[in-house]
Amino acid sequence: MKTVNDFNFKDKKALIRVDFNVPLNDQFEVTDASRIEAAKPTIIKILEDGGSCILMSHLGRPKNKESEFSLRHIVDKTSDILGVNVRFVDDCIGSIAENGVENCKPGEIILLENLRYYPEETAGDKDFAEKLSKLGDIYVNDAFGTAHRAHASTAVIAQFFPENKCFGLLLASEIESINKVLNSSVKPVTAIIGGAKVSSKITIIENILDKIDHLIIGGGMAFTFVKAQGGAIGSSLVEEDKQELALDILKLAKEKNVHVHLPVDAIVADSFSAEANTMVESIDTISDGWMGLDAGPKTNKIFAEVVSESKTILWNGPVGVFEMEAFASGTIALGNAIADATANGAFSLVGGGDSVAAVKQFGFSKKVSYVSTGGGAMLEMLEGKTLPGIQAILD
């Protein structure tokens, strides 16, 4: 697996696909810069070699080159984070882009305009990819968040750099972290799969059952398993048509000697609201008209015991509606358990939009081994899929 560490960038222009698709507020200020910070090690390595960096990214989903999606908005923030003045170029292909990068000197950073201003980017257009390729000497893919897309700048462009293409340090560490969980994990291995629906996680569960010792199922999806086994779940979320599937998963897990841990109690509410009345009930005898919105205290204890004995931990999905304070205690308790296990030497990988949001919100980012920057990309890797953006570098 070739990374930027395998190249010397002296006097070379590195054309880097970064994922600077960051959230902006109404004043077009960056509200979460973690994706920019994550790309910094790759950029600094190239600059320290004596090279220059041409950064290309998308921002949002523009239809007609709307100014609100211009990467111009993030130039100042990017300069602050990188500690180098970033120069903005008003296009990503054609004469404006080519003239903009022509006199780029070693140590300089240029940020190109939004790739998705051109529909050819998402269409994976070869001519568009070739135009982009003219802007650099070495192609670096450091955008894990878009590695599962066969777009021009992530997958198609690599063919124009047959010898001069590599992974950035962020993308390489994402691949290594996921492989650590899937392939070279130290046992016991525990996967915590939460979130609302079984249907969105089924392929992941099927793919990882051969690799894990414990499967913790939490969040809304747990109620489909509970009901499938004959439990009364009140008005809790359930996928009626996935109960058979839930039973199949339990059966398959048993055959593979995977211990499945479902919640035993829940914090239930009489409405889906932060102001709802709440009480604790057993998971399989929830009163009519009440819904489970968080893991209960007994469940938190059981989950924490499993996690404490684990040496490799994958966390994908919260175990309650943590966005409301009244239903955040289960997710916080789980985060604390994972943080403690990590401090005691376990390897912990957190990924998937909601669990990453929870980890950031409750201050666990520095207390786990690795927080993935790519939601969809990580899920597809866990499902066992080959990601186009990764394959293009390996080919």
What whole-number distance in Å separates Cα of residue 225 and Cα of residue 329?
22
The answer as to whether 237 is a domain residue is: yes
Rounded Cα gap, residues 322 and 175, in angstroms: 28
- What is the residue range of 190's domain? 175-382
132 part of a folded domain: yes
- pLDDT at position 182 is 87
Catalytic-role residue among 126, 311, 353, 360: 353
For position 353, what pLDDT does the model report?
A: 62
Whether residues 225 and 280 share a domain: the answer is: yes
Q: Which two tokens stand for residue 7?
A: 């190249």
| Same domain, yes or no: 95 and 242 | no
Q: What does the H/E/C string look like for the chain?
A: CCEHHHCCCCCCEEEEECCCCCCECCCCCECCCHHHHHHHHHHHHHHHHCCEEEEECCCCCCCCCCHHHCHHHHHHHHHHHHCCCEEEECCCCHHHHHHHHHCCCCCCEEEECCHHHCHHHHHCCHHHHHHHHCCCCEEEECCHHHCCCCCHHHHHHHHHCCCCEEECHHHHHHHHHHHHHHCCCCCCEEEEECCCCCCCCHHHHHHHCCCCCEEEECCCCHHHHHHHCCCEECCCCCCHHHHHHHHHHHHHHHHCCCEEECCCEEEEECCCCCCCCEEEEECCEECCCCEEEEECHHHHHHHHHHHHCCCEEEEECCCCCCCCHHHCHHHHHHHHHHHHHHHCCCEEEECCHHHHHHHHHCCCHHHCCEECCCHHHHHHHHCCCCCHHHHHHHC
Ligand-binding annotation for 60, yes or no, is yes
193 DSSP β-pair partners: 217, 316
Residue 111 lies in a domain: yes
* Amino acid 249: pLDDT: 95
Residues 204 and 329 occupy one common structural domain: yes
Is residue 358 domain-shared with residue 233, that is, in the same domain? yes
Total Cβ atoms within 10 A of residue 139: 23
Instruction: Name which of 57, 19, 56, 53 is nearest 37 in CA terms.
Output: 19
For residues 48 and 109, state if they share a domain: yes
> Which of 115, 134, 167 lies at the terminal end of a domain, its last residue?
167
d(Cα 66, Cα 141) in Å, to the nearest integer?
26
Domain count, the chain: 2
Is-catalytic flag, 131?
no
CATH of the domain at 205: 3.40.50.1260
Asked if 223 and 354 sit in the same domain, the reply is yes
Domain-embedded: residue 395 = no
Catalytic residue check, 83: no
In the residue annotation, 197 being an active-site residue is answered as yes
How long a stretch of residues is the chain?
A: 395
Per-residue pLDDT of the chain (395 residues; tens, 9 = 90+): 899 999 999 999 999 999 999 999 999 999 999 899 999 999 999 999 999 999 999 999 999 999 999 999 999 999 999 999 999 999 999 999 999 999 899 999 999 999 999 999 999 999 999 999 999 999 999 999 899 999 999 999 999 999 999 999 999 999 999 988 888 668 999 999 998 888 888 888 988 999 999 999 999 999 999 999 999 999 999 999 999 999 999 999 999 999 999 999 999 999 999 999 999 999 999 999 999 999 999 999 999 999 999 999 999 999 999 999 999 999 999 999 999 999 999 999 998 768 888 999 999 999 999 998 777 788 888 888 889 999 999 99
19 is in an annotated binding site: yes
Residues 163 and 199 grouped into a single domain:
no
How far is the C-alpha of 288 from the C-alpha of 14, rounded, in Å?
61
Tell me: do 181 and 163 sit in the same domain.
Answer: no
Counting Cα atoms < 13 Å in the Cβ hemisphere of 186 gives 9
- Is residue 392, in this structure, part of any structural domain at all? no
160 is in an annotated binding site: no
Establish whether 336 is an annotated binding residue. no
100 annotated binding-site participant: no
Per annotation, catalytic residue among 12, 17, 35, 242: 35
Residue 323 assigned ligand-binding role: yes
How many other C-beta atoms can be found within 10 angstroms of the C-beta atom of residue 319? 35
Q: Is residue 393 part of a domain?
A: no
**Whether residues 156 and 180 fall in one domain:** no
194, two tokens: 């939460």
Query: Do 151 and 259 belong together in one domain?
Result: no
Same domain for 356 and 329? yes
Name the active-site residue from 72, 77, 180, 197: 197
Distance CA 187, CA 10 (A): 43
Q: Which residue has the tokens 């399989």?
A: 284
- Find residue 315's DSSP bridge partners: 192, 350
- What is the value of pTM for the model shown? 0.87
Say whether both 58 and 39 belong to one domain: yes
Catalytic: 145?
no
C-alpha dihedral over 247, 251, 253, 259, to 10 degrees? 90
Q: Which residue has the tokens 């509606």?
A: 321
For residue 130, say whether it is annotated as part of any ligand binding site. Answer: no
* Nearest residue to 69 (alpha-carbon basis) of 136, 37, 116: 116
Residue 28 falls in which region: left (phi positive, over 0), alpha (psi -120 to 50) or beta:
left
Residue 355 annotated as binding? yes
Residue 391 lies in a domain: no
Tell me, yes or no, whether 324 lies in a domain.
yes
Tell me: is residue 195 an annotated ligand-binding position. Answer: no
